[in-house]
Amino acid sequence: MFSKLFRKSPEKAPAENCGLRHIAFIMDGNGRWAEKRKMPRTYGHAAGAKVFKRVIEYCGSIGIEAVTVYAFSTENWKRPADEVSAIMKLFTDYLSEAERSFAKKDIQIHFLGSKSVFPEDVRKRMEALEKASGSKRQILNIAVNYGGRDEIVHAVNELIAEGKTQITEDDITSHLYTKASPSPDLIVRTGAEMRLSNFLLWESAYSELYFTDVLWPDFDERQVDLCVKEFASRKRRFGGV
């Protein structure tokens, strides 16, 4: 599955032509997709996991340097226990696949969010993957047990612990979970909802936002192309005119 991940063709890729370096996905709609098919919500999450792998592979093939996915929020622990358990099983299965596949790939993998809630063995596996891939060029961020407000508080607390008394924007940026990545150029949310849901609140200050009714398990390469096309059509002003 990962053999083509982030592989570029020799010619300039479409995302490079429009300056799209970092795309972030709020992968919404797995449960509703399953319910429409009269299947358990866990079935939708399994389908969504397959789409995640395909989409990040395609993003790399068109020249996107960094991909961030919102896999599990700090609020998602409130979901039914069987659903949470199924999502965590998919996550640990993914860790196993990444451990087998990422050694030869030019990819940094980062897990955004507090790792303290995970069992020690899972936490060590996450940290080992991050360390082993730290010198790689391209970036894959997986936000798990992540919340945007929590991220900002975490950054400020780190700065306080360092003895900082006058804190700047650059200080906070350099202590975020996403410090290894450029700010997201485009945030895509599937599933028809039109909100950020506590995702990349600091980093999204100048991000373009793209909302689609397509449920995540139905999201595919054609949908990515539509996102890139829409991004290319926009004029980013960054507060200017």
Cut 0.85: pTM above it: yes
Decide if pLDDT at 3 tops 80. Answer: no
CB 8 within 8 A of CB 61: yes
Distance CA 112, CA 240 (A): 31
Is 233 annotated as a binding-site member?
Answer: no
CATH of the domain at 65: 3.40.1180.10
Q: Is the pLDDT of residue 6 over 90?
A: no
Residue 11 lies in a domain: no
Query: What residues contact 82, with CB distance under 8 A and at least 6 apart?
Result: 42
Answer whether residue 224 is part of any domain: yes
147 marked as part of a ligand binding site: no
**Torsions phi, psi for 240 (to 5 deg):** -90, -155
Asked if pLDDT for residue 5 goes beyond 70, the answer is: no
11 vs 49, higher pLDDT: 49
pLDDT at 155: 98
Confidence (pLDDT) at 87:
93
Nearest to 202 by CA among 165, 147, 144: 147
Residue 141 lies in a domain: yes
With the CA atoms of 29, 202, 210 and 24 taken in that order, what torsion angle do they form, in degrees rounded to the nearest 10? -60
Residue 152: inside a domain, yes or no?
A: yes
**Separation between Cα atoms, residue 65 and residue 59, nearest integer Å:** 8
Question: Could you tell me what percent of the chain has a pLDDT over 70?
Answer: 93
Query: Phi and psi (nearest 5°) for 133?
Result: -105, 5
The encoded tokens of residue 119 equal: 């069992």
Q: Would residue 197 count as lying in a domain?
A: yes
Residue range 72-82, pLDDT digits in tens: 999 999 999 99
Establish whether 157 is an annotated binding residue.
no
Host domain of residue 161: 21-233
Asked whether residue 13 is domain-assigned, the answer is: no
Q: Is residue 130 part of a domain?
A: yes
Lowest mean pLDDT among 41-50, 63-72, 105-114, 173-182: 105-114
Q: Mind telling me the catalytic residues? A: 28, 76
What's the total number of domains in the chain? Answer: 1
Split at pLDDT 50, 70, 90, the class of 11 is: low
Asked if residue 238 is part of any domain, the answer here is no
| C-alpha 210: how far from chain center | 15
Q: Which pLDDT belongs to residue 220?
A: 96
pLDDT in tens, 132-186: 887 677 899 999 999 999 999 999 999 999 999 999 999 999 999 999 999 999 9
